[in-house]
Chains A and B, each alone.
Chain A
Amino acid sequence: MKALLLRDLRLAVRAGGGFGLSLVFFLILCTLVPFGVGAEGGQLSRIAPGILWVGALLACLLSLDRIFALDHEDGSLDLLATAPLPLEGAVAIKALAHWLTTGLPLVVFAPLLGVLLHLPTAAYPLLVLSLALGTPALSMLGAFGAAITVGLRRGGLLLSLLVLPLYVPTLIFGAEVVRRGAVGADPTTPLVFLAGITLATLALVPFAAAAALRVNLR
């Protein structure tokens, strides 16, 4: 498992393309929004929680098809499926690698972009916390979508069509946490819901994703 994780991380970092691109995308998105809605500070700080969450979600989406597609092309996915490691475990590790290369950088850099969008000071810890709690669910659900579309030639667009509706609950609670933090309300309830969704996703979705992979490798 550790070997697989290290291999995926190395591939992501050294092969170029994937790693860092989603961060740049996140940055560009947060730069474009003020052009669209105007640079007035009060308005920006009001919509900042939503923009940051939607941006993180879209940035996460960008690199999803790479979770399984490359391994499917060169055949290493078949080797993984026949390895002693259960496929569910392999899926979870690959989702973890995706999170470490995409989700975690987003969590770390989100406060910087919060400055760009005039996010109220009180919301920064909650922004980091909610993203740290929510993005693992995004990676895991994305792995499920990637597992379903891995055999398709033009799976990229379909992948986003399948995965985005699944992101709705996570987005609602994640953005709600930050919004409550921004206006000084108690964020405990949405925070607990967010953590609950992530934990349930991490526990159950690997089975669905592994089942989808088995169908595609048949």
Chain B
Amino acid sequence: MSIWEYANPVKFLRASGVVLPWIVAGAAICTVGGLVWGFLTPEDYRQGSTVKIVFLHVPAALMAINAWLMMLVASLIWLIRRHHVSALAAKAAAPVGAVMTLIALITGAIWGQPMWGTWWEWDPRLTSFLVLFLFYLGYMALWEAIEDPDSAADLTGLLCLVGSVFALLSRYAVNFWNQGLHQGASLSVAPGERMSAVYRYPLYVSMLGFFLLFLALVLIRTRTEIRRRRLAALLARENRA
């Protein structure tokens, strides 16, 4: 019994069909719970009620980066072991990751307007997120542009590998280029820098919720892609007959 058994589309569909309702339920409970709990927290003495946007902003930003990481791993698995489910999962994750990036950018702008006095600042973190968003757009556009599914999977996989290196490079290059306005990590293990427990626990719940939400969306989209691939194969067979 190894994890590679689930590279078989039939097995993948069956197993993911079993766990999917649970993940969707968990995602719904944790996202709604985390956001509502976060909304009911007391106002911060400096930031006022704007602090509450953190429960949307931080989880979205977290998943935006992790979605790209997941695409990188899935692309590597496709390029090395040629499992079709893996390539389709990478394809399924891209729009979800792009939307997460967009949520992080927009909530950041809404928060930044009253707090920093500007919607947008060419700060390293903001800039690298914008660059990440551009990478997502290019990746999705390439999937759309190529007709042959296997070539599309190969080429987008290559783009994902090269893009990862340059996205990381851009992340550190912009650090060098402009000094930041964005605060440091929201969750730090160093005592004294921590946010208060009042905010921390709802944030954890919300992060778990966004993770499950991402997982659910990717699974649903992957299942759809597998079925679409099957449909195309059936139609092709019918046309030949």
Contact = CB atoms under 8 A, between A and B. Distances in A.
Interface in A198-215: 205, 208, 211-212, 215
B163 interface: yes
Contacts of A155: 145
A193 B176 contact: yes
B138 A216 contact: no
A215 B137 contact: no
Contacts of A37: none
B142 A172 contact: no
A161 B166 contact: no
A162 B145 CA distance: 12
Contact of B158 (A169, A190, A212): A212
A165 interface: yes
Interface of B is mostly: helix
Given A151-B151, A168-B166, A208-B161, A158 B177 contact: no
Contacts of A152: 145-146
A65 interface: no
A168 B169 CA distance: 9
A81 B151 CA distance: 17
A144 B151 CA distance: 15
A144 B162 contact: yes
B176 A162 contact: no
A164 interface: yes
A166 B142 contact: no
B138 A162 contact: yes
Given A151-B151, A158-B142, A165 B176 contact: no
Given A165-B138, A166-B163, A208-B161, A148 B155 contact: yes
A164 B107 CA distance: 26
Contacts of A148: 142, 155, 158-159
Interface string A166-190: 1011001100100000000000011
A205 B176 CA distance: 24
Contacts of B138: 158, 161-162, 165
- Chain A contact residues, majority secondary structure: helix
Given A158-B141, A176-B177, A218 B151 contact: yes
A212 B177 contact: no
Nearest to B172: A169
A193 B161 CA distance: 21
Contact of B137 (A149, A161, A166): A161
A172 B137 contact: no
Given A197-B169, A216-B151, A172 B174 contact: yes
Nearest to B177: A172
A208 to B, nearest CB: 5
Which A-B residue pairs are the 8 nearest by beta carbons? A169-B173, A215-B154, A165-B134, A169-B169, A168-B170, A172-B173, A162-B138, A172-B177
16 contacts: A144-B162, A148-B142, A152-B145, A152-B146, A154-B145, A161-B137, A162-B141, A165-B138, A165-B163, A166-B163, A169-B169, A176-B176, A176-B177, A212-B154, A215-B154, A215-B155
Interface of B: 131, 134-135, 137-138, 141-142, 145-146, 151, 154-155, 158-159, 161-163, 166-167, 169-170, 173-174, 176-177
Given A168-B169, A205-B162, 18 more contacts: A148-B142, A149-B145, A158-B142, A158-B145, A161-B137, A161-B138, A162-B138, A162-B142, A165-B170, A172-B177, A173-B173, A189-B176, A190-B176, A197-B169, A211-B154, A212-B154, A216-B155, A218-B151
